[in-house]
Amino acid sequence: MTDDTTPLPRSAANGAANGAANGAANGAANGAANGAAGTIWRWLDKAPDAVAVTGSDGRLTYRELHRRVEDLAAVLRGHGVGPETPVGLCMERTTGMLVAMLAVWTAGGAYVPLDPAFPAGRLAMMRQDAGIGLVLTQAGVDPTLLDGVPAVVTLSPGGRPLTGAPAPAGGVAADGDRLAYLMFTSGSTGRPKGVAVPHRAVANLLESFAELLPIGPEDRWLAVTTLSFDISVLELLLPLFTGGRVVIAATGEVSDGWALRERAVAEGVTIMQATPAGWRILLESGGVPATIRTRLCGGEALPRDLADALLADDAELWNVYGPTETTVWSTAGRVRPGPGAVDLGSPIGRTSLHLLDGNGTPVADGEVGELHIGGAGVARGYHGLPGQTAARFLPHPHAGAPGARMYATGDLARITPAGRLEYLGRADQQVKVHGFRIELGEIEAALRAAAEVRDAAAAVRDGRLVAYLVPRAQAVDWAELRERLRASLPDYMIPVRHTTLTSLPLTPNGKLDRAALPTPSWTRPGTAAFRAPAAGVESDLAEIWAGVLGATEPIGADDDFFELGGHSLAATQIIARVQARYGLEVPIVVLFERPTIAGFAARLDDLDDAELSLADVAALRDQLDGLSAEELQGLFDDLAAGS
Ligand code: AMP
């Protein structure tokens, strides 16, 4: 058990690794590290009839889950899946998602998440780079996303194959070195890159967190993360590893804090992990259910105000840190109430941390260095990219094992005088926006690929992506360019604002001077002509939207919320404010379906079954706003006398 109140040992952060991080970290595997697929079945004999997983489609006991996994694995073997075969998963969020992932492992293959929310062009690029010949999917997924895939097996929501014949029974021996998954992340060269993670790294993660967290068979973990973000691995597997239950939130629930909250309460969820943006959505949607006693926050720096909010009901909060390249999380720290920044905690089992300067020399106490991570979690590298792998996966001088490597994270940190590991941001142009990892270079490459753009830069301002364009002769049609970007970039990588410059600012040595890039003023995207919102509900909504989006220009009745830079958290805030103003419960999906003020206002009126129309409520409130305190008191007295 990590003692969270103990300062980070110097040895764990620098130079000679501590005992746990040394030797065993690279190379020798312990029993459970032989393959993550095998280790999660240790509860099958102990509690076969305990519920292992629930989803919007139903529930499966350990025995049923195991049966389904074996059945699907047989079909996969019939398709030729064996050790190292990459299998795409383009799935909905049902119990079948977990069945698919485990079946790929049981057949010996490696899964590759193909997020159905991604554009077809990006998925095709990932499939090509990974060498995928077979994809598992479900009926609800748009089949055109998989055009050109040699073999597709469609599964029922519960993971039963609807097509394909099983191969005769057979098994593959466990092997910790075998590939478990390929996880694509944004690439600064303009193309996503696949991180190749072996089973031993996954097994080490599970063992470490099983020891670290108070988790057991009574626990129910709400899984909210897309398969294409590696932290999903922990939330889908640790509950099985410890005899508990995975509660898979459906796609609709993941972006709707109220629905998520309802699900968590209904299922008696006790543990959850999310990014800071994810936790804020829950906090804004009626609060984190008190049954969730263990809370993990990671993927981005955990601000103190959020930590305090998550600690408010005496829950156990952990700040977890780590890049995809070292398998989900590499450090964890129990967060206590109190002033000051939240630290990164200590390395998890068989993991070593090193704070190094530009020459690879350990920095002195208090000095800023780049975090390098060694140990059992280090991935093989970037699939098919030896140059990029060599640049970041460096020889490990302190491991003691031949061939061991450490990953240069690009994260800056220092050891505080109190001995704590403090995160200080990035050394490069990788950013996080609402929990999504983005290389600004990838967006810039996509912008520069447009014929009308001579040069381009991207940046994050006020938590949003912005673009800087230097046009060639003709003007740039921003709305149209954004549409073109959508063919290769996921929605979260599309800049929401832009500004046109005659040239990009440069430093004296000719590099892009990012600090000199101006903050673009908020402008309405030119997709709809401006139509003023009607008085009453539409004007109310325009005011709410402007407040949430930080708009400095009026918002038109036909403007699209998402075009204006709206995202899940902003949508949650809009719904919360509408709810507070009108006392009306509005499903968040309404905003996704009716993303304009006019459309949303019309839907609100449909939803409202009270005697007073929303327009009446708005008018009444306007009248009340105009009254003095005495007049209001008089009104209340009259009402009281009449009752
Ligand atoms: P990803 O590969 O998507 O998990 O992103 C990894 C990067 O996210 C790290 O290199 C950090 O820059 C950032 N990150 C992850 N967790 C934390 C955390 N708890 N605090 C600060 N930054 C974090």
Boundaries of every domain in the chain: 32-173, 434-515, 537-629
Q: State the closest ligand 1 atom to the C-alpha of 230, by its place in the atom list counted from 1.
A: 4
- 358: number of Cβ within 10 Å: 9
Confidence of residue 566 (pLDDT cuts 50, 70, 90): confident
pLDDT at position 31 is: 34
CA atoms of 326 and 278, how far apart (whole Å): 22
Residue whose Cα lies nearest atom 3 of ligand 1: it is 437
Give the Å distance between the CA of 299 and the centre of ligand 1.
Answer: 4
Q: How far does the centroid of ligand 1 lie from the alpha carbon of residue 464, in Å?
A: 18
pLDDT tens, residue by residue, 412-432 = 999 999 999 999 999 999 999
Instruction: Place 631 in a pLDDT band, splitting at 50, 70 and 90.
Output: confident
* Top-confidence residue, 597 or 25: 597
Q: Atom 8, ligand 1: which residue's CA is nearest?
A: 299
Ligand 1 first shell, C-beta below 6 A: 185, 298-302, 319-321, 323-324, 409, 411, 423, 426, 432, 437
Q: Closest residue (by CA) to atom 20 of ligand 1? A: 301
Residue 597 confidence (pLDDT) above 60: yes
User: Which pairing describes strands 369-375 and 405-415: parallel, antiparallel, or unpaired?
Assistant: antiparallel
pLDDT of residue 38: 65
Torsion of CA 14, 18, 22, 25, to 10 degrees: -90
The pLDDT value recorded for residue 203 is: 95
- Residue matched to tokens 């996503």: 192
Testing ligand 1's pocket by substitution, the residue of 300, 382, 409, 422 carrying the most ligand atoms inside 8 A of its CB is 300
pLDDT digits (tens, 9 = 90+) for 513-541: 999 999 877 666 655 688 999 988 899 99
Testing ligand 1's pocket by substitution, the residue of 226, 321, 330, 371 carrying the most ligand atoms inside 8 A of its CB is 321
Which residue's CA is the nearest one to ligand 1's atom 6? 323
Q: In whole angstroms, give the CA distance from residue 114 to residue 94.
A: 15
Judge whether residue 434 has pLDDT over 70: yes
Q: Is the pLDDT of residue 389 over 90?
A: yes
CA of 195 to the centre of ligand 1 (A): 15
Domain topology for 32-173:
Rossmann fold (3.40.50)
From 182, 302, 423, the mutation candidate for ligand 1 (largest count of ligand atoms within 8 A of CB) is: 423
How large a percentage of the chain has pLDDT more than 70? 88
Confidence of residue 4 (pLDDT cuts 50, 70, 90): very low
Atom of ligand 1 nearest to the CA of 409: 10
Instruction: Give, using CA atoms, the residue closest to atom 15 of ligand 1.
Output: 299
**For residue 1, what pLDDT is reported?**
33
Whether the Cβ atoms of residue 421 and residue 353 lie closer than 8 Å to each other: yes
The yes-or-no verdict on residue 2 having pLDDT over 60 is: no
Of the candidates 434, 501, 436, the one whose C-alpha atom is nearest the C-alpha of residue 467 is 501
What is the reported pLDDT for 643? Answer: 47
At the fourth CATH level, the homologous superfamily of domain 434-515 is: ANL, C-terminal domain (3.30.300.30)
More confident of the two residues 582 and 170: 582
pLDDT digits (tens, 9 = 90+) for 68-98: 999 999 999 999 999 999 999 999 999 999 9
- Residue 333 is given by DSSP the state E
Q: What is the token pair recorded at 272?
A: 């959850």
pLDDT band at 642 (very low <50, low <70, confident <90, very high): low
| pLDDT surpassing 90 at residue 46 | yes
Q: 32-173 with 537-629: one CATH topology? A: no
What pLDDT does 609 receive? Answer: 64
Domain 537-629 has CATH 1.10.1200.10: yes
Q: What is the pLDDT of residues 185-217, one digit of tens each?
A: 999 999 999 999 999 999 999 999 999 999 999
Q: Which atom of ligand 1 is nearest to the CA of 298?
A: 19
**Of all protein residues, whose CA lies closest to atom 23 belonging to ligand 1?**
300
DSSP secondary structure letters along 103-164: HHHHTT-EEEE--TTS-HHHHHHHHHHHT--EEEEETTS-GGGGTT-SEEEEE-TTS-BSS-
Report the mean per-residue pLDDT for the chain. 89
